[in-house]
Amino acid sequence: MNNTDEKYIELYPSHWFYNASVIGFIISLEDIEKIEVNRLFCNDGRINIEKEILKSLNVNERYFSENKISSIVTKAQIYRNYLQVSDKNVFPNYVKELANVEHSNNGCCICNLGYDISADAKKRLSENGLGKFIERIGSYNMIFNANFGPSKKKFPNAFWVNQHSDNVCSFCSFLLIHQHIGLTRLMDKSEIFINAPTFKLMYYLNKFLNSSISGKNKIEHKDKRALLAMSVIEYASKTNSLLGQWAGMNIEIISQKGKDIDFFSLPYETVQLISNKQIAGLLSNIGEFKILNIVLDGRFKQLVDLGYKFLKISMKADRNKADDDFIKDSLFLWNNKKYLNQTANKVLKLYALIETRMNKLKY
């Protein structure tokens, strides 16, 4: 903690579930309040939440509106009994008190730091009708997530490593109801999140992930490895940031479906390869999953065979059925099929860039 405490709440990356909650809250600030969130990220991986932001939130529209997209809790339908109808008139007072939270040592099982509203504030809120609410959200249980939270005072919560306490600090109890916003939902009803060493990197990777498989581009994606690679590629090609060694070794994609959780990661050498700006830009420009998987599998020589086969077919005056079948099997995008000569040159250039990069990584 430092002398910025009076203006900011400092948050540091931790467990993926907590990280998704922080990212979800940041996304909600960007979508609902139209806040420029990039200014909140710090170079050391943490994020500083300006306390003034909390004071300006339109709480009723955010959390209680039944008809608007911005109604975070209503639309989520996964926070059983977190907010009740009787809380509507008093919950805004609780959120305002969060602007004055203080660092405490209450043993928060979520962030391991603890930002709690003061005892005086809890007393005031209790007198104003929030006593039961404060008690309800004071420990981690299924009101935060029906899949991972235990029944209150019924059985232990094995999801969290911390076995000594189920206490949740005031600010974490607020952040957790934004967790679903940080996740990207797939067509098979699984939800995925990219975890990384810094909040800024998490924000951009998940943003690219969401945009790449939503709207017109939304298709069935089962290969989590490819989804993670796509996000790294988009990050490398569309930002001026470089992935350092530490970041490259600690990026993973979490897939959650019901109570089942799976973790997927890429080898460090693969991350270093696809995060090269030239290689990432070319892979993004080509945009073919089959070519991406060739790279992820390390089958680089196959790119040469593929490129020369494309080149040979593109120079034919008349294609036969075998040629058409090969193109159909190898390429998905219409532009790549139509301008096959250009596609061939891109694939061959991709191989040359990979060979150059691989030689540099060896030494």
Q: Alpha-carbon distance 234 to 275, whole Å?
A: 9
* Final residue in a domain of this structure, among 163, 182, 201: 182
Indicate the pTM of the whole model. 0.86
Are residue 178 and residue 50 in the same domain, yes or no?
A: yes
Per-residue pLDDT averaged across 6-19, rounded? 90
Are residue 225 and residue 162 in the same domain, yes or no?
A: no
- The reported pLDDT for the residue numbered 157 is 46
Per-residue pLDDT averaged across 228-253, rounded? 84
- The reported pLDDT for the residue numbered 328 is 94
- The reported pLDDT for the residue numbered 280 is 94
Residue 40 has pLDDT above 50, yes or no: yes
Poorest-pLDDT segment among 48-57, 85-94, 223-232, 268-277: 85-94
Are residue 67 and residue 157 in the same domain, yes or no?
A: yes
Residue of higher predicted confidence among 247 and 267: 267
Residue 25 has pLDDT above 90, yes or no: yes
Are residue 260 and residue 280 in the same domain, yes or no?
A: no
Residue 42 has pLDDT above 90, yes or no: yes
Residue of higher predicted confidence among 90 and 5: 90
Per-residue pLDDT averaged across 105-125, rounded? 83
Q: Alpha-carbon distance 63 to 79, whole Å?
A: 12
pLDDT in tens, 152-177: 555 444 454 445 567 888 898 899 88
Q: Residue type for 257, please? A: K
Are residue 27 and residue 158 in the same domain, yes or no?
A: yes
Evaluate whether 253 touches 301 at the Cβ level (below 8 Å): no
Are residue 69 and residue 137 in the same domain, yes or no?
A: yes
Residue listed under structure tokens 């000594």: 164
Q: Which two tokens stand for residue 209?
A: 């992930």
Count of CB atoms situated within 10 Å of the CB of 13: 19
Report H helices in 185-300.
199-212, 224-238, 245-249, 268-274, 277-286, 289-296
Q: Alpha-carbon distance 280 to 252, whole Å?
A: 18
- The reported pLDDT for the residue numbered 79 is 61
Domain assignment present for residue 81? The answer is yes
pLDDT in tens, 304-362: 999 999 999 999 989 999 999 999 999 999 999 999 999 999 999 999 999 999 988 77
pLDDT in tens, 193-223: 999 999 999 999 999 998 877 654 455 455 8
> Which residues form the domain of 296?
276-363
- The reported pLDDT for the residue numbered 4 is 44
Spatial CA neighbour of 199 closest among 54, 43, 72, 51: 43
Per-residue pLDDT averaged across 26-46, rounded? 93
Provide CB contacts within 8 A for 313, sequence distance 6+.
319, 323, 326, 327, 340
The band of 151, judged by pLDDT with boundaries at 50, 70 and 90, is low
Domain assignment present for residue 1? The answer is no
Q: Which two tokens stand for residue 87?
A: 């809380």
* Final residue in a domain of this structure, among 154, 182, 210: 182
Q: Alpha-carbon distance 314 to 330, whole Å?
A: 14
pLDDT in tens, 138-148: 777 666 766 55
Evaluate whether 338 touches 311 at the Cβ level (below 8 Å): no
Poorest-pLDDT segment among 187-191, 233-237, 333-337: 187-191
Sheet containing strand 184-185, strands side by side: 184-185, 191-195, 252-257, 260-265
- The reported pLDDT for the residue numbered 23 is 97
